[in-house]
Structure 1
Amino acid sequence: MQKQFRKWCAVSTPGYVLSGYGGGIYLMSVSDYIPSQRKLNFNGLKMYNNTAGKTGQSMYLIMTKVAEWCRMGIAGEYVKGNYSDGISNQNELQGIPITYTAFTQLSSTQINQQQKYLEDYWNIPKGSIWHVSNRNIALIKGNDQSGCAEYNNPCKTIDYVLSQISQLKEGSITAYTSEKRIGISQYGYDLQSPMQFSKSVSHSNILKIMKQLYGTDQVMNGQAEMKILKNNDDNNENGKLGWISTSEGIELRLYYINIIMDDSQLSIPIIYIQDSDSVLELNSITFTGITLSPSIEPKGIIHIIVDNSQFIAQSCIFENINIEEQGGNVIRILNSGSNSITATLYGCQFNNISCIGDSNGRGGSSIYMENQHGSKLIIDDSCQFYKCIIDKGNGGAIYIDIDFDSEFEFKIANATIRECEAKSDTSKDLPPTGYGGGIFLTGSGDYDPSTKRLDLSGMQILDNSAEKSGQSLYVVMTKLQEWCRTGTQGQYVKGNYSDTLSNSNEIEGIPKDQSSFNTLNPQEIQAQQNHLQYFWTSQIASLISVGVILNVSNTDAPLQFSIKGRGMIQDKLCVKLIEIGSKTSVNLILIQKQANAIEVVYPPEDGS
């Protein structure tokens, strides 16, 4: 329930010291309030243009536990209503930590000396951020002791910080508080063993890890550094899901951190998210120089196996990453239940990523997603995929498996895919590999193009390659032709592909479902696949086969051709005949060159 106080006024009465406080609310107490009971909650309060003759333009508090009440939750959430830190006038909310009886005995001068802005109570430490620093080389070393928190008096470990936030805000190290903020010192933080966060262990719904003084007027420049120290000791990872893992639906939000590692190889993800109703937000996070080598099954650097959850990545950089052995991806999103996952990427970069496809040929060195139960993947704001390579798999940069019968969404609003590559597994033909140098899109069910849930119009492709087909994009779906013909000239399919300038093998596909595709050998795929442009235009002819009957008698008879193809127009065909001569060594070379040449037989060179 929300309550508004607009243009209220507290007028000072001449000669009466206790008048003129609290233009909207005047709250006093004659006994001690117990903040942990949370019976006093103003988070729905709206205050506008109130005035007081003395102080507290919108609210004035007189209570012994004013400091404790203000510190409850995060940043005064039970006190401030629509008051905005750093924007609202501090004199909007004021108070004094005494009983009303004691207040009545004070003079105006004494009241002014003892009262404070309420923001000063909840803004301890600054920005409600508890800082950590555990490196011996740090100029300011962290210590796990009572009172540590500020950037110039940091704590040493994250575990200690989590307990101290509960202690200061709620009165007990095991008490629950709505949000906890941890600041990484400008001197960095070494992650020496994996961390597990959950609501029951961390005693909070939301955990934010950020650079020093993030969100305040004293924020540090650049990013803070967090370094994983495995020290080539596999025991550090035994029985662990990830170096930073969450469960029970806790929200994990990271801001402006550069995550690096020592010269070890990881066998578990850096970030592992599980269970339902979770949120992972990465804002301006860099992952660089990471080597992941899963020993049992494919994993992601960021591994998300959730239900009814969200993943948001903004302005993040993933570069110089290598994933070996059982394979995996930079971001791997799996659906563990029957509800949707929403994943959005804004302005992220994936540079120099090298991965191995899994045993089923599933690739996507940068992103692998099982888009089930109406899940969504949105890529926007100039995302970049550069030199993303999948070996023995499909989808150099992105592999997405969609349930086309669900209310899914896959949209590339603005992204560049450049110099990415899909390499085939030369040791076997099944499952098919080497398709989709940039993107491999597949799934089950029948897509309804009228829903426009599949939209690649913002895709920019350049210099990608695939050893088999689909240099930039390969699509496996039953309603392939219908999708290509939706809109104008393939608008939901082609991105910056040019009907007249691009190579037609840039975007290809086959009208099959995923399970059927996986049973086809390369020759069968070659016979059934199509350049996608052929589906939305009738101006291109494709030659399927040519048969020639050659009369070797002295009878003057014409050559008889049998030509089969698509989009061909009768009487509009040019054929070039070349007489090579006898099979000399020179002519054999010429024959070979001619066989490898690309002759334009339609449309004719004269434009007819």
Structure 2
Amino acid sequence: LKGMKIYGNSADKAGQSLYVAMTQLAEWCRTGIAGEYVKGNYSDGISNQTELQGIQVDQTTFKYYLSTQINEQQNYLDDYWIADRNEYYVQNSGSDDWLCTSSNPCKTFEASLIMSNINSADAFIVYILQSTSLVNQTFIQQTSTPRIFRNDPLDSTQLSILLIKSVGRFNITGKAVFYLLNFIMESTGYQDIPGIYGLSYQAEININDCQFHMQNAGSQIGKCFVRLNYGGNHIITNLNTKDISSEENIIKVNFNDAGSLSISNSQFENITKIGSYVVGGVINALLTYASNRLDITNCQFTTCKAQNTWGGAVYAEIQNSDAQITLSHTQLIQCEAQKGGGLHIKSSTTGQVVLDNSCEFKQCIATSGNGGGICADLEYSTTQQSLFLIKDVLIQDCQALLSSYEPISTGFGGGIFIGVRGTYNSSTQSLDLKGMKIQGNSAISGGQSLITN
């Protein structure tokens, strides 16, 4: 069943998507690697176990079984291929001296049962019942199987709360999955420590169907939600972030080894990065290794601001050839920064920037600089040419306002400002705006929609 994809199915009794009655059920489930012939797109530790169930009797016997016999003998299918599974439960009302079971949950991840097994080679899952807190540092080093942190397994949609205290953080050099959690950041002053910290080119962090908020409305936070250093391959899907005032970016990337980050189907609304110490608004990415990629797909940034810096939604810098940044089917609406109200790109030598699939920049503002929607700082040489490619982008009703401190060189490019360092070779066609659509943009100094320098 390798090609099976299951979504939203239901059954009155068992096996929401698949139920199998077969005497050789265990052997079949254990064939290949991790149930590959059984589970299709079922994800160990993430999908609900009730999706795949079965019983080790043939169809004729099953037909004449009583309901009590079926209930006693049927199993979750993933129990057959996950022979050793460490499962723990935590809840704010629990105690770290308890057994970390569903009936006797521990209070935090610091319970000795969890800490002594968190980096074992066996499958590892922590279920958060309603809420818990990340008080101190938790180290995740296992690379063979991911450490999974998720909501109550009996509730497929209700997010559990994970409060990140002032010095709390996950230090990750292995694999970690966070699923159906509402991360709440405690209010602090500026701290150079994130909530989730990727610290190796071997790290793999997957954040799926989660939310991120501040603890107290009207206050501010002082550290990143996610910071990825060195490299590693990371995925953020369906992250909903709203009403944040922070001295740091929400997501910060600093790759100097092989690594990629994919952000998809996520929403960022009313995010203000305060102060001038940290550049960028929601995302700050620095790519310095040849194979680095930042892909932002089907996301929406609304009212995202980088006070006194650049890139209201995204600031990204490429410092190595062949590294690439792609925005696809993404909206940036009413975002603001000194320059690059929505997006600020700085690309050296042969870095690649591609904007495609109906991206939109609407009502974004460069408050005291250039490039109301986009500001692109591109470097060219006689032998190396940065690629800046607009395939399908609408830039509408964006503005570039001048700075009272630099009135001569600001207020240009209401829609987009392109600044070139070095010598551009037109035969390379590496600066290509064919897919740009402009409407209703304005600039105080010139280039209502586009200006190049």
When the two structures are superposed, what TM-score results if normalisation uses the length of structure 2? 0.64
Aligned residues: 356
Task: Give, in whole Å, the separation in 2 of the partners of 1:163 and 1:261.
Answer: 37
Partners of 2:391 and 2:435 within 8 A in 1: yes
How far did 1:233 drift?
6.8
Give the one of 132, 143, 159 matched to 1:187.
Answer: 159
How far did 1:82 drift?
7.3
Shift in alpha-carbon separation, 1:56–1:373, aligned structure 2, 3 A: farther
How far did 1:181 drift?
4.7
Alignment partner, residue 229 of structure 1: 215
Shift in alpha-carbon separation, 1:310–1:181, aligned structure 2, 3 A: farther
- Do structure 1's residue 85 and structure 2's residue 40 form an aligned pair? yes
Give the one of 296, 307, 313 matched to 1:313.
Answer: 296
Partners of 2:314 and 2:344 within 8 A in 1: yes
**CA RMSD, 1 decimal:** 4.5
Partners of 1:343 and 1:376 within 8 A in 2: yes
AA in 1 matched with 2:249:
P
Give the one of 109, 112, 122 matched to 1:169.
Answer: 122
Partners of 1:402 and 1:443 within 8 A in 2: yes
Alignment partner, residue 423 of structure 1: 401
Task: Give, in whole Å, the separation in 2 of the partners of 1:153 and 1:374.
Answer: 57
AA in 2 matched with 1:284:
N
Alignment partner, residue 245 of structure 1: 227
Partners of 2:140 and 2:173 within 8 A in 1: no
Q: Please show how residues 313-332 of structure 1 align to structure 2 within 5 Å.
A: 313-332=296-315
- Do structure 1's residue 281 and structure 2's residue 262 form an aligned pair? yes
Alignment partner, residue 435 of structure 1: 412
Task: Render the CA deviation track for 1:369-411: whole Å, top value 9, x for unaligned.
Answer: 1112422111112111111001111100111111223243222
- Do structure 1's residue 381 and structure 2's residue 353 form an aligned pair? no
AA in 2 matched with 1:370:
K
Task: Render the CA deviation track for 1:117-173: whole Å, top value 9, x for unaligned.
Answer: 964445799xx9999997x8xxxx899876679xx9999778888986644726897
AA in 2 matched with 1:267:
E
Q: Please show how residues 279-358 of structure 1 align to structure 2 within 5 Å.
A: 279-308=260-289, 309-335=292-318, 337-355=319-337, 357=338
Shift in alpha-carbon separation, 1:298–1:282, aligned structure 2, 3 A: same
Fraction of identical pairs, as percent: 23
- Do structure 1's residue 256 and structure 2's residue 238 form an aligned pair? yes
Task: Give, in whole Å, the separation in 2 of the partners of 1:131 and 1:387.
Answer: 48
Task: Give, in whole Å, the separation in 2 of the partners of 1:457 and 1:158.
Answer: 52
Alignment partner, residue 199 of structure 1: 173
Partners of 1:180 and 1:207 within 8 A in 2: no
Task: Give, in whole Å, the separation in 2 of the partners of 1:421 and 1:174.
Answer: 47
AA in 1 matched with 2:247:
S
Q: Please show how residues 68-217 of structure 1 align to structure 2 within 5 Å.
A: 78-79=33-34, 85-86=40-41, 119-122=78-81, 166-167=119-120, 169=122, 174-183=141-150, 186-187=158-159, 189=161, 191-193=163-165, 195=169, 197-199=171-173, 205-211=203-209
Give the one of 380, 387, 397 matched to 2:373.
Answer: 397
| SS of equivalent residue, structure 1 residue 401 | strand
| SS of equivalent residue, structure 2 residue 122 | helix
AA in 2 matched with 1:252:
H
How far did 1:254 drift?
1.4
Alignment partner, residue 47 of structure 2: none
Task: Render the CA deviation track for 1:484-521: whole Å, top value 9, x for unaligned.
Answer: xxxxxxxxxxxxxxxxxxxxxxxxxxxxxxxxxxxxxx
Contiguous gaps of at least 5 residues in structure 2: 1-21, 43-71, 125-138, 152-156, 175-196
| SS of equivalent residue, structure 2 residue 427 | helix
Task: Give, in whole Å, the separation in 2 of the partners of 1:80 and 1:415.
Answer: 43
Alignment partner, residue 62 of structure 2: none
Task: Render the CA deviation track for 1:164-202: whole Å, top value 9, x for unaligned.
Answer: 664472689754335445446633535534745441687
Shift in alpha-carbon separation, 1:79–1:365, aligned structure 2, 3 A: same
| SS of equivalent residue, structure 1 residue 300 | coil
Partners of 2:399 and 2:442 within 8 A in 1: yes
How far did 1:444 drift?
1.7
AA in 2 matched with 1:199:
T
Larger mean Cα displacement after TM superposition, 382-391 or 406-415: 406-415
Task: Give, in whole Å, the separation in 2 of the partners of 1:269 and 1:156.
Answer: 30
Task: Give, in whole Å, the separation in 2 of the partners of 1:158 and 1:423.
Answer: 49
| SS of equivalent residue, structure 2 residue 159 | coil
Task: Give, in whole Å, the separation in 1 of the partners of 2:78 and 2:100.
Answer: 19
AA in 2 matched with 1:228:
M
Contiguous gaps of at least 5 residues in structure 1: 1-52, 71-75, 88-112, 212-223, 358-362, 477-608
Alignment partner, residue 412 of structure 1: 390
- Structure with higher RCO (Cα < 8 A, 6+ apart): 2
How far did 1:415 drift?
1.5
Partners of 2:341 and 2:364 within 8 A in 1: yes
AA in 1 matched with 2:407:
D
Partners of 1:183 and 1:210 within 8 A in 2: no
How far did 1:433 drift?
0.7
- Do structure 1's residue 367 and structure 2's residue 353 form an aligned pair? no
Shift in alpha-carbon separation, 1:228–1:291, aligned structure 2, 3 A: same
Larger mean Cα displacement after TM superposition, 267-276 or 199-208: 199-208
Q: Decide which structure has greater strand share.
A: 2
Task: Render the CA deviation track for 1:14-67: whole Å, top value 9, x for unaligned.
Answer: xxxxxxxxxxxxxxxxxxxxxxxxxxxxxxxxxxxxxxx97479x769xxxx7x
AA in 2 matched with 1:449:
S
Task: Give, in whole Å, the separation in 2 of the partners of 1:411 and 1:322.
Answer: 25
AA in 1 matched with 2:366:
I
Task: Give, in whole Å, the separation in 2 of the partners of 1:343 and 1:132.
Answer: 39
Shift in alpha-carbon separation, 1:321–1:368, aligned structure 2, 3 A: same
Partners of 1:142 and 1:155 within 8 A in 2: yes
Task: Give, in whole Å, the separation in 2 of the partners of 1:123 and 1:420.
Answer: 54
AA in 2 matched with 1:176:
T
Shift in alpha-carbon separation, 1:368–1:396, aligned structure 2, 3 A: same
Alignment partner, residue 450 of structure 2: 473
Shift in alpha-carbon separation, 1:248–1:305, aligned structure 2, 3 A: same
How far did 1:439 drift?
0.8
Bigger CA radius of gyration: 1
Larger mean Cα displacement after TM superposition, 285-294 or 181-190: 181-190
Q: Decide which structure has greater helix share.
A: 1
